[in-house]
Amino acid sequence: MSSSAAAPAIRLKGISKSFGGKRVLVDLDLEVKKGESLALLGQSGIGKSVLLKHVIGLLKPDAGTVEIGGVDLWAASSRERDALRRKFGMSFQEGALFDSMSVGENIAFPLTRHTRKSKKEIAERVAECLELVRLPGIEDKRPSELSGGMKRRVGFARAIALQPENLLFDEPTTGLDPITTDVVVKVIEEMRTRLKPSAITITHDLKVAFTIADRVGLLSEGRICVDMTPKEFEQSKDPRVAAFVTGNSDLAPPESEPERRAERGRAERAGEAHV
Amino acid sequence: MTAVLELLGRGVLSVLEGVGRFFTLFGMTLRGLVSPPWAPAATARQVVRVGVDSVPVVLLTAFFTGGVLALQTFKGFQRFHAEGYIGSVVALSMLRELGPVLTGLMVTGRAGSAMAAELGSMRVTEQIDALVSLATDPVQYLFVPRVLAAIIVVPMLVVLADAIGIVGGYLVAVSYLGANPVVYINNTFQFLDMDDLTSGLIKSAVFGFLLALVGCQCGFDTEGGAEGVGRSTTTAVVMGSLSILIADFFLTKVLF
């Protein structure tokens, strides 16, 4: 275990992934150290969620390796893989709460499945998690009764129930009003100070990114093309960053860049065949 | 020319991929069925939803099928004065064939489609991803209780369907076709074998397995929002029914 103590919490090496001929991730590298928080920016549909799903093994890369604390996720057995997944808490875009269960049962789900805690201990932990996301006492509500912001925070509570070492947030504030966004950001901040996890957060909101992250990465053309501190990011002259900071579409690279590159590759191969 | 070949190749590949995926999930479900932990509470819930809730529709179907079978057989057998054997024909047909198949088809329409819709909406709202992220095997958690419940409960429904089908035939024959009740009942059981019942029950257990597996799988592989859920539900009913009818032929051949 001593070697894994020095290893980065999350390391992606040479990840490539295509869907039906469309190349989404191309030879992507990414490292997140223990306790570090990375915000991931990028245009919609560029593959940020795909990247996040690779980190926790929801998607298997076509090429490359995913290492969690120095352990190769896809070289491990399925049982070991599940053990690695337990080190993660993932929050999904719309919360992804199990709608067949109450809020309390949702948060208790990982606890009843993966711990030997008694009913009372579980109820206490559920209450504690709800407290942390500032929604005390809503255990008996159904997910369908909750607003979008509440669903996401219940999703956070479920994600942190097992006190994971790593947190993944998929667009935690997208589509929320500014006040709810602020609440969500404060909740994320509080989870960070209490649990000190490594974190990857996908967001479109620069203000959110600058508040919760130590590093800001920009995903473009299937790779992390920019990786700097929030301060550097804000002042960067890089046209891709400037396009994002100012919100100017004229500065941004065309959307289908990786696809076009793949197309070019195909054309080249076809050319070779003809020669 | 290359375009045609490419299209053909892609078609073949996608069919093979589908078949491969079916058998992968088939294997994973089988492994889940034989390896603990089973979830008795979740299975019981599914038994209620697949079985108990299907009772009315299965009984109605069986009753009218038994009745119409008596009517039709009468029409045919009258031509060579064999009306006395209506009871045997109804009982044999119900036990060996119509009870299992019609019950299988009705349960596919009711429960297989519901499974596809439920798992499909779980897929499109990322609940299945959430399950995996919480280190829970979705096949073990979602497929196994449903498939297990269907295997247990479809044969039970078939026993009910067989009985009610025979009752339906009896009522039609006695009250409408003027058959002698005592002779009719005698005839019903005269040529029946225990094999007729067990072969039907073995078939129905397989049908239960198939309809639940196909329903779960269609839902599990849903793509593309609400429209995708609708498509999966339709596919579950079509593929579920087809697989029952095809399996029926081969099982009957083997079990004869």
Task: Tell me phi and psi for residue A105, to 5 degrees.
Answer: -65, -35
Core vs surface per residue B213-230: b (16+ CB within 10 A) or e: bbbbbbbbbbeeeeebbe
Strands (E), chain A: 10-19, 22-32, 37-41, 63-68, 71-72, 88-91, 166-170, 198-202, 215-220, 223-228
B41 interface with A at CB cutoff 8 Å: no
Q: What structural domains does chain A harbor? A: 2-87+164-274 (3.40.50.300)
- Chain A residue numbers with beta carbons less than 8 Å from the beta carbon of B137 are 78, 82
Q: Å from A246 to nearest chain B CA?
A: 32
Give B 106-125 residues with CB within 8 A of chain A.
Answer: 122, 125
Instruction: Report yes or no on whether pTM surpasses 0.90.
Output: no
ipTM for this prediction: 0.84
Tell which of B126, B139, B146 to mutate to test the A interface (max A CBs under 10 Å): B126
- Chain A residue numbers with beta carbons less than 8 Å from the beta carbon of B127 are 96-99
Give residue limits of the domains in chain B. 56-255
Task: Tell me phi and psi for residue A248, to 5 degrees.
Answer: -105, 110
Strand A166-170 with A198-202, pairing? parallel
With CA atoms as reference, the chain A residue closest to B124 would be A96
B126 interface with A at CB cutoff 8 Å: yes
CA distance A101 to A240: 44
Q: What is the pLDDT of residue A253?
A: 60
Q: What is the pLDDT of residue A262?
A: 46
Q: Å from A60 to nearest chain B CA?
A: 13
Among all chains, which residue has been given the structure tokens 């039709």?
B72
Tell which of B1, B121, B133 to mutate to test the A interface (max A CBs under 10 Å): B133
Q: Is B211 exposed, middle or buried (0-12, 13-18, 19+ CB in 10 A)?
A: buried
**Which of B32, B244, B249, B246 lies closest to B154 in space, CA to CA?**
B244
Nearest by CB to B129, which of A58, A78, A114? A58
Tell which of A77, A97, A200, A269 to mutate to test the B interface (max B CBs under 10 Å): A97
Over its length of 256 residues, how does chain B's per-residue pLDDT go in tens digits? Answer: 788 988 998 889 888 888 888 888 888 888 888 887 778 888 999 999 999 999 999 999 999 999 999 999 998 888 888 888 899 999 999 999 999 999 999 999 999 999 999 999 999 999 999 999 999 999 999 999 999 999 999 999 999 999 999 999 999 999 988 888 898 898 888 888 898 999 999 999 999 999 999 999 999 999 988 999 999 999 999 999 999 999 999 999 987 7
B17 interface with A at CB cutoff 8 Å: no
Task: Tell me phi and psi for residue A235, to 5 degrees.
Answer: -100, 0
Kindly give the parts of chain A with pLDDT less than 50.
1-4, 257-275
Q: Å from B232 to nearest chain A CA?
A: 20
Q: Å from A185 to nearest chain B CA?
A: 21
CA distance A88 to A90: 6
Residues forming beta bridges with residue A11, ordered by sequence position: A31, A67
Q: What is the pLDDT of residue A3?
A: 46
